[in-house]
Amino acid sequence: MADQLVFNGDQAIAYSWKQINPDVVASYPITPQTIIVENFSEFVANGEVDTEYVCAESEHSAMSLCIGASAAGARVATATASAGLAFMWEVLWIASAMRLPIVMSVANRALSGPINIHCDHSDAMGARDTGWVQMFGENVQEAYDDSLMSFRIAEDMKVRLPVMNCIDGFITTHALEKFIPMETADVKKYIGEYKPVRPLLDLIHPTTYGPFTMNDYYFEHKYQIHEAMQAALPVVRSTLNDFGQRTGRHYDVAEGYRTEDADYVIMAMGSTAGTLRYVVDQLRAEGHKVGSVKLRLFRPFPYEDVAKLLQGKKGVAVMDRAISMGSTGPMFPEVRSALYDAKDRPKLVNYVYGLGGRDVRTDELVGVFKQLMDGSAKTMNFMGVRV
């Protein structure tokens, strides 16, 4: 194992790319992702990698370049945030439809308007149905680890789908933390040599990419993506398990903290999960039987894992750092669906919180637990909003 380093989340991801040395990186800078591509472009300029780096004129162009390079047979990475991910929206679908194992780091940031550069999950949630595997990291260590594992998941022959590894903008992207990287030689061994499947540049075995499809085959193509996404769930599990055996850092698609005997549980993604564990410890010290769940994998959604962690609890609050206008937060209906067939369902409530980078205070999370315990939580709640 390499020596401990002090990086922010963006730098840690750029460092992982340096160790992997992808064939092509095409990107467009956007706050709070810019540090990733700035750092990596320095590695390219200094000759520390032999990646073909393209600074595109827009995010739509960047993803289009990634699609072309991946289809041609290259290992490809990119990064974006917020409106940049939204600008890619059209071609995100094309990347998954072509079964291209592109890896993209997303620095989660709110969408306009009004203009805001700080964290929420609206950008990734807007892309949740595009056929990309989506993982959410809590801290700098997980930003690095998830970046490495994303390549293994995307390139697995049972999957061959693009992967987003998401981290909270400014909270994780810009916060300096200690983390332990793998040795570069071990990374290269772990990731392995890239093996393209039906590359466009194979003139002996020509392949058609991006054809026009009528109603006689379009449905089947979408069904195949769905089946690949279903197959991705066990691949993600095995990848997390293998990574834990190699590094001693053990992850799961959904991770419970002090949930075994808990009556009340709060569930969240990203950096909030760490704050929640602190709050759980506080309330446990006061004698309250509480716990928390961190969801790492949002797509494909791990319904059975979530149901196993939450079944039999008295109350569960699902924390969404995004909102589907006219409905609830996007994670809430997924969790409710996971628990629908449970024999002993908890009372389930939703809290939308932290939009546009609004601070997540420990006293507010304590308040969520208290509202769960005294029964005053409504089905739909807004934590920290001024009304």
Count helices and strands in the chain by DSSP H and E runs:
13, 15
312 and 234 within one domain: no
Residue 290: closest CA among 254, 260, 251: 260
Distance CA 109, CA 124 (A): 9
Residue that finishes a domain, picked among 215, 247, 279: 247
16 and 87 within one domain: yes
- In order along its 387 residues, the chain shows pLDDT tens digits of 678 999 999 999 999 999 999 999 999 999 999 999 999 999 999 999 999 999 999 999 999 999 999 999 999 999 999 999 999 999 999 999 999 999 999 999 999 989 999 999 999 999 999 999 999 999 999 999 999 999 999 999 999 999 999 999 999 999 999 999 999 999 999 999 999 999 999 999 999 998 899 999 999 999 999 999 999 999 999 999 999 999 999 999 999 999 999 999 999 999 999 999 999 999 999 999 999 999 999 999 999 999 999 999 999 999 999 999 999 999 999 999 999 999 899 999 999 999 999 999 999 999 999 999 999 999 999 999 998
Would you say 160 and 225 are in contact if contact means Cβ atoms under 8 Å apart?
no
258 and 224 within one domain: no
33 and 181 within one domain: yes
* pTM: predicted TM-score of the whole model, two decimal places: 0.97
Residue 164: closest CA among 193, 137, 135: 135
188 and 97 within one domain: yes
Q: Two tokens at 134?
A: 């989506």
Q: Two tokens at 272?
A: 């909030």
For residue 314, the domain's CATH number is 3.40.50.920
Which residues, at least 6 apart from 65, have a Cβ–Cβ distance to it below 8 Å?
24, 26, 54, 56
Say how many domains are in the chain: 2
263 and 323 within one domain: yes
Residue that finishes a domain, picked among 188, 223, 247: 247
For residue 143, the domain's CATH number is 3.40.50.970
Domain residue limits at 160: 5-247
194 and 285 within one domain: no
